[in-house]
Amino acid sequence: MSRYKAWGGRFSQPTDAFMEVFSASIHYDARLFRQDIQGSMVHCRMLARQGIIAEAESDLILGGLARVKVEIEEGRLPFRDEQEDIHMHVENRLRELIGPVAGKLHTARSRNDQVATDLRLWLREEVDAIREALRTLQRILLTLAEAHIETIMPGFTHLQNAQPVTFGHHLMAYFEMLDRDRQRFAEVRQRINQLPLGAAALAGTPYPIDREWVAKELGFAGVCQNSLDAVSDRDFVIESAAACAVVMMHLSRFSEELILWSSPAFGFVELSDAFATGSSIMPQKKNPDAPELVRGKSGRVTGHLMGLLTLMKGLPLSYNRDMQEDKEAIFDTIDTVRGCLKVFAGMLAEIRVNRTAMALAAKVGFTTATDLADYLARQGIPFRKAHEVSGRLVRLCVESGRALEQLSLSEMQTADARIGPDVMEVLTVHASVNARKVIGGTAFATVRSAIEAARERLDG
Ligand code: ARG
């Protein structure tokens, strides 16, 4: 039997060589080493406080753990498949350093509650980092939106020019999405932040441990209330992945717009050279690789969410080894989201906006036809009828190759005699935008106050 196996007593045959490679998780769960050692140290201090191990033993273990931590930080601890995972690597090295007393660390504990604790500690930090990255991106959005409160662009539905809006207003739509994302992570964090340790393998432990104390020392808000649930719950992982998938869906939509807008057919924005690439064959090309990659990476995060749900859905209580498969999925999910948020912040901070192209496009496609209908409705015509009149005038424009404001007053009056000379005032994109002063609307003044309120929400 290998001297590293934690279950040597029961076994008479060694583990199959390929099984060892197959079951090892050390090459990815090594990234939990800080949390693993942090959890072990608090567990060890609790064992001593409760008189379960002696103070002197605890001191030896704590000193050894500190050394193991430094060794791993400095890349001096070799990872070996036969030692399976990070928990065994830490414990085995501890034994090499301080001798058999190392074996007392695992009193009143199992790898089942240990791994759940490590993962919660790790995810809590990552979720906080994501919340901060979201906040950074929101700040950049606010700055950009502020600069473009009066930049008029076409608003779209069905990707058809619909009504003029301002670029600032459009950007603030993403601010709102990211704000909900940040809330989602704050809520998920509360459910992550419960301590599983003390559940031991599945049923709890006969030792007089103090779970509440451990929870407090590790910064958890409380302890998991059912030992079976404590070791077998991974909804905190799934919820985190779901919140990540929603962020990625938002970033992917934004990416899609940036890709369209930076195409010469739109020409609304230009990405800085730092976030674009060229073509090896077409010298004129500037490709929007950063948003394309973000859009692409949203697929893998959605995939991980599906993978995690599928992983868990058939597992009987409590711990099953299947659950080791949660790690690569959640690690990659978090890394991907953090990377995408970072690239987005850099990209948006340097984006160039072509106000003229936006303003020109805002006028294309009879975007003030609704304003004309609203004008008629204000003369007392039922909106449905007003819509029809405006529609007829649009058709006249289509047929004669003109814009609405190029029709003469008499042509308009043939459609409805109640149209007066003041109609021209409502047909400009500027008037259309500024007529929408309703809460949440696109009028300059409304967007200006929306940005102010948003800044307070963000920093408050
Ligand atoms: N590497 C394992 C995991 O990630 C740790 C827990 C192992 N527990 C066990 N009973 N084999 O789930």
Domains of the chain, each with CATH number or no CATH: 13-107 (1.10.275.10), 112-149+165-359 (1.20.200.10), 363-459 (1.10.40.30)
Angstrom distances, CA of residue 2 to CA of 13, 14, 213? 10, 7, 36
- Cross-strand partners of 408: none
Out of 112, 237, 322, 326, mutate this one to test ligand 1's pocket (max ligand atoms within 8 Å of CB): namely 112
Q: Which residues pair with 156 in a beta bridge?
A: 161
- Ligand 1 centre from 115 Cα, in Å? 7
Residue 279: active-site member: yes
Return the HEC string of 79-121: CCHHHCCHHHHHHHHHHHHHCHHHHHHHCCCCHHHHHHHHHHH
- 105 touches ligand 1 (CB under 6 Å): no
Q: Is 227 a catalytic residue?
A: no
Catalytic-role residue among 12, 158, 280, 408:
158
Most distant CA pair in the chain, distance: 101
Mutate to test the pocket of ligand 1, among 115, 202, 330 (most ligand atoms within 8 A of CB): 115
Contact residues for 107 (Cβ-Cβ < 8 A; gap 6+): 47, 52, 53, 207
Residue 321 in contact with ligand 1 by CB distance below 6 A? yes
- pLDDT the model gives residue 6: 79
Helix 326-349, helix 289-313: angle, nearest 10: 160
Half-sphere exposure of 290 (CA within 13 A, CB side): 23
Closest C-alpha residue for ligand 1 atom 12: 324
Expressed in angstroms and rounded, the spacing between residue 326 Cα and the centre of ligand 1 is 11
Pocket test for ligand 1, best of 28, 82, 85 (most atoms within 8 A of CB): 85
Judging by beta carbons within 10 Å of its beta carbon (0-12, 13-18, 19+), is residue 7 exposed, middle or buried?
A: exposed
Phi, psi torsion values for 153, nearest 5 degrees: -140, 165
Of 332, 158, 188, 311, which is closest to residue 248 (Cα–Cα)? 332
Q: Is residue 85 within 6 Å of ligand 1 at its C-beta? A: yes
pLDDT at 278: 86
C-alpha triplet 215, 245, 248: angle, nearest 5°: 120
**Distance, CA 84 to ligand 1 centroid (Å)?**
9
pLDDT at 282 (0 to 100): 86
- Which residues of the chain fall short of a pLDDT of 50? 1
Note whether 447 and 166 are within 8 A (CB): yes
Task: State the amino acid at position 86 in one-letter form.
Answer: I
**So what's the pLDDT on residue 1?**
45
Ligand 1 near 113 CB (within 6 A): no
Task: State how far Cα 301 lies from the chain centre.
Answer: 10
Confirm or reject: Cβ of 115 under 6 Å from ligand 1. yes
Which of 2, 263, 272, 279 is catalytic? The answer is 279
Kindly report, residue by residue over 419-450, the tens digit of the pLDDT.
Answer: 999 999 999 999 999 999 999 999 999 999 99
Bridge partners (DSSP) of residue 194 are 222
Establish whether residue 318 lines the binding site of ligand 1, counting it when its CB lies within 6 angstroms of any ligand atom: no
Residues 6+ away with beta carbon under 8 Å from 282: none
Q: Which residues of 291-318 are buried (b: 16+ CB within 10 A; e: fewer)?
A: bbebbebbeebbebbebbeebbeeeeeb
Specify the ligand 1 atom closest to the Cα of 323: 12
> CA 163 to CA 186: how far, in whole Å?
36
112 in Cβ contact with 106 (< 8 Å): no
Q: Is residue 164 within a helix (H) or strand (E), and if so which, with residue range?
A: strand 160-166
Closest alpha carbon to 62 in 102, 122, 112, 21: 102
pTM above 0.85, yes or no: yes
Q: What residue owns the CA closest to ligand 1's atom 7? A: 111
* Closest CA to ligand 1's atom 11: 321
Residue 10 CB–ligand 1 contact under 6 Å: no
